[in-house]
Structure 1
Amino acid sequence: MFDMICISIYNGKMIRDLDTTLVRTFVTTADKASMTAAANALHLTQGAVSQQIKRLEEVLGQILFERDRRGLRLTRSGERLLDKGRRLLQLNDEIMAEMSGKAVAGQVRIGVPYDLVGTLLQPVLKTYAEACPQVEISLVCASSPELAAALAAGTIDLAIIEERAGPTAGECLAVDRLVWVGARGGSARSKRPLPVSMVADTCAFRPAVLTALGEHGLDWRTVFENGNIDATTATVRSDLAVTTWLASTVPTDLDILSDADLPALPNFSVNLHLPKHAAAPAAEAFATHIREGLARYRQAA
């Protein structure tokens, strides 16, 4: 009798297990913001995706998505589940890879522009290192044109390249505004000739910036171009010059300057470039991580 009571109490308190297939469908749908796109990515029908989302909502007793004019949008419950769902899938995939002897290993040489390595890509690099601990990562920081040349020469395995928004040979991961940046309440923005500090003379932004200044008839002078992002940032913080960065990478203690003060600049895209030949498994794994990482960034934005 005592044993039966204990079993009854235990069964009443049992925690149900989440079906990782349903969680994967949910995370993919959240990333794509579309059941149709999620169905294509998962090689399912749209109806199957819809049914799996409905089953997960029934298991959790929560509505995870709602529709608006822009398409699917996460509810608050969906937002709470998304990060934990990603972690659950990551751990699941790590266990499966390790136990099956298919864990990613080897070396990968990743090319990243100076301005992205400590900003947009920092969390992606961290999660990749955690997910693939057997991979030896070599990080190469350079300007986008230099990284494109290195990828073509085979000295790096993949590259994140900033290019003017438009057609690209790579895969567009994000599009961002190129903006003027100056010291908080500084005066460098109003000086003539305009003092401009860029990380390097090979900077991907440089041609667009010089074209905009020329079309605006604005005289300018170079303050710093020596391939050091920290030195460029220091010249701007010290109000010795202004610079141009993607809006998402601007430090919070600096000002994004209005187009009323300086000429408008074009949008730039952050593109993933893989080698023309087949990429190594470690490089393919990083490509997957950066796609997922920047999808989360766009979702949060």
Structure 2
Amino acid sequence: MTIKGIDVSSYQAPTWSTSGLSFVFAKATEGHTVVDSSQAAHAARARGAGLVFGQYHFMWPGDIQAQASWFAEKSVTVEGDMMAVDWERTGSGTMASNADKDALIKAIKALRPDHKVGLYTNSSTWLNVDRTSYFGDFLWIAEYGVAAGHPKITAKWTFHQYTDTPLDTNVGHFANRAALAAWAGASTSSITVSKTKVSLKNLVAAAKSDPKAAQGHASHPADVKPVEAALQKLGYLDASYAKDGSFGSLTIAAYSAFQKAYSKAHGLGWTGDDVNGIPGATSLKALATEAGTFTETA
């Protein structure tokens, strides 16, 4: 009953892997003067992969209405995106009060009544500082050193941030991505899994034969075209070469680039045949997951 997601800010480049993710939170604003410079890029990457998206506001003490307005006006949230208040100690050592925390969540909810608005905080703050037990529509709890989905609190949580390695990583208490989207009010059209199926066997055959034949030779175009489209969507293959159905030299190079990038992002250490541009079961599944445009079969 859990799904996986990450949270990011300008400290992370908007090139993170979407593999295995169902949702992403990105920082939007802080106080009533700071806007995160990478929020739009993070939003585009999440939405491009069909992930449920949310944003958070790092709150400071006081100026509650100004902070609520700043978050509502400066975030790139659209209908169906989640919104959260990040309640923790600031860089200057100050911390908003319980009353401020409650008031900010309510003020944001008043400005954005059609959004799920919740609270992010760590378990120590929740257990030792919080006195109202108020978290709006959802509680997003941070607690490391415990199993994912098992924070040591009795309150009903919706998201659990359980590690910051290699990125802040979370689980959500939902059966699947569609269930989260339905709860958040997000459009499900962007997360519908395509029924296009790609045969690994045919794809390998094409990758090994097409480059050796006449230019543009396409031995298994029905299987190659969805992969070309996925490589184009993720930025590895130019659009002018993404529709011919031939697993030629440029597609080989693009697939190799994907294998290398995926290996690096996940610390897999792939070398040699693992990054030679010939699809394998693991890399094809990874591409299908990241692009969200096809499913793989043997």
Same fold (TM over 0.5): no
**Higher RCO structure, 1 or 2 (CA under 8 Å, sep 6+):** 1
What is the TM-score normalised by the length of structure 2?
0.23
- Greater helix proportion: 1
